[in-house]
Amino acid sequence: MTAVLLYVLRLVVGLWPRCDRQRFAADLVAAAEARAAEAGRSRGPAARWRCLLDEVVAASGEAWHLRRWRRSLATSGTRQAALAGWRGDVVRAWRGATRRPVTALGITVTIAAVVAATATALGVATAVLWRPLPYPAPNRLVFLWEAAAEDGGAFRVSRASAEAWRRAASSIESMAFFGASSFALETPDGVSPFRGVRVSPGYFTTLGARPLLGHTLEGPARLDEIVLSERAWRTRFGAAPEIVGRTVRLSGAPFTIVGVMPDRVSPGWPANPAHIGLDPAEREYWVSLPPPGDNLRSHLFGVVARLRPGAEATDVAAELSAAAAEGDGHAAVVTAFRDQFVHDARRPLLVILAAVVALLMAAIANLAALQATAYEQQRQEFSVRAALGAGRGRLVRAIAVDVGLHSLLGVACGLAAARMALAWLPEMLPPTMPFVTAPALDATVVGAAVAIGVLSTALMAAWPAARLLAGGPARNSRSVIGGRVYRGLVVAQVALGVASAVPAGLLGRSLAVVLGRDAGFAMTDVVVTDVALPGPTPGANPPMAEVTRFETDVRAALASRADVRGVALAYDHPLESNWSDVLVLPSPGQASDEQQVQLRIVSPSYFAALEVDVLTGRVFDDADRADRPGLAVINRALAERIGRQALGLRVTPGGPRFTWGAAVPDAFTVVGVVDNERFRGLEADAAPALYLSTRQFPMPEVSLLTRTAPGRAEAVAADVAAIVRGVAPVASVARPRLLTALRDVQLAPRSVTARVVTVFAAITVGLAVLGVYGGLAAAVSARRREVGVRLALGESPRLAAGRVVADGLATVGVGLALGLVGAAASGRLVAHVLVGVTPADPLVVGGVMAGLLAAAGAASVVPAWRAAHVDPVEVLRAE
C-alpha cells in the first residue's frame, strides 16, 4: 500500500510545472516518505498510509496552484518586457527631441497650429451650421415673410397678413409675430436706451422657450409686464436674485418684471429685407404688443411659426399664398429658422474650412519631409540598433513612438489653443455674426482634432517606416533627400500654397473694391446717434411741434461747434433702410402704377450734410412746412424705374397720414432727383427710394447724423449725448457710433472671411517656403561630399550656389504650375462672394505666383551660400 501511494505521489508530482518538478520531485518524495515512516512508527501503518494520502492530495492541489502561478508569471513577464520596450522607446524619443530641440519644436508647433486652426474652424462651423438649436423640434420652426411682387424678395409682414395666415394655415401648429421696441430705461444714474422686442401671445410657446426665472408673457396680453434677457439681467440689474416682481420705469411708465429668459438666439428686430438681427443689445427685453389700432397694414413685423409634424415648408408657402387676398395680397416666403440667420454664412464657412484643409495638407507634407530629414540624421543610430538585433518591426515602432510623442503634445497644445479661441471669438467678432449656438469644444471637434493627430502621425511615420520595411537602415543606401517622394512633398506644399493664397487674394481684393465703392454719401467723419423723444404716454407720439422744435434746436446746437461740418436727422441712417412702401403713381389713360420703394424720411439739411449729389430740381428746405403742399425727392434708381419725366409727379405714400393724420400732406410732388445712396449697404445695389422731409413728416425716433471736420468724429461723439440732452432732457439717447463702424459691422462677414482665409493662406505659404528651405538645406547637407568633390575639381562656388538655387526654383516651378490648377478650383469656390473681381483675376494670380517665386528664391539663399562655402579640403580629409 505504501509503495502504491508513493507511486501515485510520484505520478501527481509529475503534473507539477517542469522546472519545479525537476527541482523538487526527488526531495519531495523522500521527505514525504520520511514523514510517513515517522507517522507509521509512532501511530501505526494506518497513520503512514494516511500521511501518504495527505501528501497525494496536497501534491495534486499544489500542481494546480503552481501551474496557475507559473502562467501568471509568464504573462506579466511578457507584458513587463513589452512595457519595458515601449517605455524605452518613449525615453529614446524624448532624448532625441532634447538633442534636436528646433526640429522637435517645429514639428510640435506645426501640429499644434494645424489642430488649433482645424478645431477652431470646425467648432465655429458646428456652432453655426450643425449643432441643434436650443428649442424642441427646431426643424419645425420657420419664419414667414411677405414676398415682394416685382423681384421676389421678402419683407416685413403686416398684422393683416399675419392674421390672415393664422386663420388659413392648417399646417401651422402655432404662430406669433414680433416687432421692434425701444424705451428709455430710468435708473438712478439717468436715462438710457433700452431695446427689445414686442411680441404677440404665443411667441414663447411657439419657440418652446422656457424662462430662467419667473414666467413668460403668455395668456391675455398685459401691457405692463416685461421679461428681461439674461444679458440685461446681468449687466443692468446686477443679476439680482429677487428681480422677478421688481418694478422698473420705462419711458415714464411702470413695468413689472415677470421673468428672465436665458441668452440664446431668438427672433427680434425684424428689418427689411427679411432680416433679423442677432445683436443681443436689441433683444434685452420682451413686452406684449398692444391691441391693433389702425396699423393693420403697416409692414412692421416678423412672424415665427411652428409647423405641425410632417408639414413641409413648400406646402405651407402654397397654403399661405392662397390666403394672400385676405391680407395685403402678397404671397408668403417661408424660411427655416436656422437658414434665416446663417444662410449667408454657409458658403463663407465652407471657404474657411477649405482653407483649413489646405493648411492641414500642407502641414502634413511639411511634417513628412521634416521627419524624413530627421530619419536621415538618425540613419546611423538605426543601423547600430539593427546590428544589435532590433527587427524592422521594432525600429518601425520606435519611429511611430517618436512621431506619436510630437503628435500627442501637438494635439494637446492645439486643443488648448482652440478652446481659448472658441471662448474669445464671440466676444471679438461683431454681434451680427451668426452664432446661433455657442461655439465650444465638443466631442465632434475633439474627435476631429484627435483624428488629425493620428493622421499626421501615420503620414509622418509612413515614409520612413516604408523605407525601413523595404530595405532596412543600410548604411550605404541612397539618401531620401532630393528623391522623388521628397521633391513631391515640397511640390505639394507649394501647390497648396498657391491654391490657398489665390482665393485669399481674391477675397482681399474684393473687400477693397467694396470698401472703395462710392456710397453716394459721405462715409467718413460721420457720427450716428439714435434719439427717441418720449410721448405723453407709452406708445404715444410727442406733439408734432415738439418734434419739429427738437430738430431745429439740436441742429443749431451741434452746428454751432467749429468742428462740425453738417447736421441732419433721418429715420434711418445712410447704411440702413427699414421703411418700405407702395407708391401709387398716376398714369394718364392707364391703371395706376404701383411701385415698391424705400421710404426715407430726412431733414432738409440731409443732402448737404451727407454730401448727396442733387441731379435735377431741388431738395427740401426749412420753409417746406407741414402746412404747405407736400414735396418729395426721388433717387436716380426710382427715376429710371419710372422711365419718364419724374419732376412734377404726385405720389401718395401711406406713412405720413397714418402717423399724423390731417396735420401733414397726403400727397407729395416730386421736386428733385438725387443720386443713389447705397442704403442697403456697400455690397448691394441701390434700390428705388422716395425722400420726404421731416418738416412735413416729423419723426420722434431718428438717427442724428453729425459730419465733423476730419479726425474730429471721436471728439464730437463724446459730446453728442450731452448736447442732445441739453436740448431735450427727457430724450433717450443711444451710444453714438461712427458711420464707418456701422459699415464695418455690415461688412463683417466678408471681412472676417477674408481675414481668416488670408491668415490660413499665409501659414500655408509660410510652410511651403519653409519646406523649400528645409528641402534645399537637407539636400546640401546630404550632398556635401559631392559638392566638396566638385569644388575640389575646380567648379566655382558661384556655380555650386547657382545649382542649388536652380534646383529650388525648378521644384517650386513645378509646384506653381500644379498650384494654378488648384487655384482655378479654389477661385470658383469663392466666386459667389467676389465683387468687382473675377476668379482668374490676373493681378491676384500673377501677384501670388511672383510672390511665391520670390520667397522661394529667398529661401534658397542660405542653402546656396552654404553650398558655395563647403570646404573641399575638409570633405576630402573625411574621405
Partner 1 sequence: MAAPPVDQLPLSVAVYQVLLSLVENDLHGYALIKDIDTRTGGEVRLTASTMYGVLARLLEGGLVDEVPGAEDRRRTYRLTRTGRALLRREAERLARAARWAIEKRLVPGLEPRS
Nearer to partner 1 by Cβ, of 24 and 660: the residue is 24
Nearer to partner 1 by Cβ, of 69 and 130: the residue is 69
> Do the bridges between strand 225-229 and strand 253-261 make them parallel or antiparallel, or are there none, so unpaired?
parallel
Nearer to partner 1 by Cβ, of 78 and 380: the residue is 78
525, 549, 543, 843: which is closest to 715 by C-alpha?
A: 525
Nearer to partner 1 by Cβ, of 79 and 828: the residue is 79
Q: Least distance in Å: CB of 23 to partner 1?
A: 7
Q: Least distance in Å: CB of 7 to partner 1?
A: 15
Q: Least distance in Å: CB of 456 to partner 1?
A: 37
Distance CA 48, CA 817 (A): 98
Distance CA 583, CA 57 (A): 111
β-pair partners for 580? 598
Nearer to partner 1 by Cβ, of 61 and 629: the residue is 61
Q: Least distance in Å: CB of 26 to partner 1?
A: 8
Q: Least distance in Å: CB of 241 to partner 1?
A: 55
Q: Least distance in Å: CB of 2 to partner 1?
A: 15
Q: By CB neighbour count within 10 A (0-12 exposed, 13-18 middle, 19+ buried), where does 877 fall? A: exposed
Distance CA 826, CA 830 (A): 7
Fill in the DSSP letter of residue 662.
Answer: G
Yes or no: say if 237 and 269 are a contact pair by the CB < 8 Å rule: no
Report the Cα 72 to chain-centroid distance in Å: 55
Nearer to partner 1 by Cβ, of 38 and 218: the residue is 38
Identify the residue whose cell numbers are 477661385.
827
Nearer to partner 1 by Cβ, of 35 and 347: the residue is 35
Distance CA 36, CA 49 (A): 7
Q: Least distance in Å: CB of 3 to partner 1?
A: 17
Q: By CB neighbour count within 10 A (0-12 exposed, 13-18 middle, 19+ buried), where does 476 fall? A: exposed
Nearer to partner 1 by Cβ, of 6 and 824: the residue is 6
Q: Least distance in Å: CB of 34 to partner 1?
A: 5
For residue 194, give Cα distances in angstroms to 251, 405, 530, 822.
10, 54, 12, 51
Q: Least distance in Å: CB of 69 to partner 1?
A: 7
Q: Least distance in Å: CB of 1 to partner 1?
A: 18
Yes or no: say if 598 and 153 are a contact pair by the CB < 8 Å rule: no
- What three-state secondary structure class fits 265? coil
Longest dimension (CA), the chain: 146
832, 551, 555, 523: which is closest to 679 by C-alpha?
A: 523
Q: What angle do CA 68, 71, 73 make, to 5 degrees?
A: 110
The three cell numbers locating residue 126: 458646428
Distance CA 754, CA 610 (A): 29
Nearer to partner 1 by Cβ, of 39 and 692: the residue is 39
Distance CA 468, CA 491 (A): 24
Nearer to partner 1 by Cβ, of 65 and 785: the residue is 65
**What are the backbone dihedrals phi and psi of residue 840, each rounded to the nearest 5 degrees, phi first?**
-105, 30
CA-based end-to-end distance of the chain: 85
Q: Least distance in Å: CB of 97 to partner 1?
A: 32
Nearer to partner 1 by Cβ, of 14 and 629: the residue is 14
Distance CA 262, CA 231 (A): 8
Q: How many CA atoms does the CB half-sphere of 194 hold within 13 Å?
A: 29
Q: Least distance in Å: CB of 10 to partner 1?
A: 12
Nearer to partner 1 by Cβ, of 28 and 365: the residue is 28
Q: Least distance in Å: CB of 11 to partner 1?
A: 13
Q: Which residues contact partner 1 (rule: CB under 8 A)? A: 13, 20, 23-24, 26-32, 34-35, 54-55, 58-59, 61-62, 65-66, 69, 73, 76-77, 80
Q: By CB neighbour count within 10 A (0-12 exposed, 13-18 middle, 19+ buried), where does 762 fall? A: middle
Q: By CB neighbour count within 10 A (0-12 exposed, 13-18 middle, 19+ buried), where does 253 fall? A: middle
Q: Least distance in Å: CB of 819 to partner 1?
A: 59
Nearer to partner 1 by Cβ, of 34 and 854: the residue is 34
Distance CA 533, CA 285 (A): 20
Nearer to partner 1 by Cβ, of 58 and 429: the residue is 58
Distance CA 691, CA 605 (A): 13
Identify the residue whose cell numbers are 508569471.
73
Nearer to partner 1 by Cβ, of 55 and 319: the residue is 55
**What are the backbone dihedrals phi and psi of residue 728, each rounded to the nearest 5 degrees, phi first?**
-135, 95
Q: Least distance in Å: CB of 92 to partner 1?
A: 23
Nearer to partner 1 by Cβ, of 70 and 249: the residue is 70
Q: Least distance in Å: CB of 397 to partner 1?
A: 23
Nearer to partner 1 by Cβ, of 30 and 82: the residue is 30
DSSP code string of 39-94: HHHHH-HHHHHHHHHHHHHHHHHHHHHHHHHHHHHHHHHHHHHHHHHHHHHHHHHH
Residues contacting 268, CB < 8 A, separation 6+: 178, 180, 196, 197, 276, 277, 282, 283
Q: Least distance in Å: CB of 48 to partner 1?
A: 14
Nearer to partner 1 by Cβ, of 69 and 424: the residue is 69
The three cell numbers locating residue 732: 433717450
Scanning 14-44, the segments in alpha helix (DSSP H) are: 18-43
The three cell numbers locating residue 746: 455690415
Q: Least distance in Å: CB of 80 to partner 1?
A: 7
- What three-state secondary structure class fits 142? strand
Yes or no: say if 211 and 259 are a contact pair by the CB < 8 Å rule: yes
